[in-house]
Amino acid sequence: MDNYFNHHFHFITANRKTGGHILDGQFQNAKVEVDPLSNVEIDLPRTAEFDHANLGEGKPPEVNRVER
């Protein structure tokens, strides 16, 4: 039986030095932890460059590359 998921997952290593996206995969003896959150705090940069970033219509190629 094939196990397939169609979700957007993130991962981080135990030493917290590496992380990223999981878009596809097959796993054996996987350990999954879910952290039910009631809120999320996002600390954005406080710079003029960030404040005036032109993201244009839709996703710029850089963001699209990271998300795929």
Beta carbons of 55 and 62 less than 8 angstroms apart: no
As a whole number of angstroms, the distance between CA 53 and CA 47 comes to: 10
The average pLDDT across 12-38 equals: 81
Q: Long-range pairs for 16-20 at CB < 8 Å and ≥24 separation?
A: none
**CA pair distance 53, 40, nearest whole angstrom:** 23
Span 43-66, average pLDDT:
77
Predicted pLDDT at 46: 92
| C-beta separation of 67 from 23 below 8 A | no
Question: Which of 10-14, 18-22, 49-53, 57-61 is predicted least confidently?
Answer: 57-61
More confident residue, 30 or 38: 38
pLDDT at 28 over 70: yes
